[in-house]
Structure 1
């Protein structure tokens, strides 16, 4: 399954009359925010909460351990998902 980020339609306004984002634009903003690069120090595993597909950069600059991708949605254990698990070093 492929999840592709599609920009909002240009044939309708992005904002409602009151100035709030329309449903399509609001959904796009949430998707972009969820996929934005996360920058921190050290490994994100068990520390940084994120959705599957997120990208994390370790700013400590240790060669070979800089970029991580959130591969798993959660740890798969228990009734409450742990969104800090599932980071994979790229």
Structure 2
């Protein structure tokens, strides 16, 4: 697994750093070009219904969505919605 932070590390609830998407895309290209089998590319920080598809389009396939889930009125439903949004590409 490769982890790319999409917020400044330190505390939850921060805004998604969209300027990290080129780094995610570059990491995906590097992973795929090495033909090493399945290596997950995870993004952590600011993941929400509005940002998860951007991260997925850039090449991420694993997502850490703390605040989006734990601040939701129905966390289970939010997980389902995030999964659907990530898989909509």
Q: TM-score, normalised by structure 1?
A: 0.31
Higher relative helix content = 2
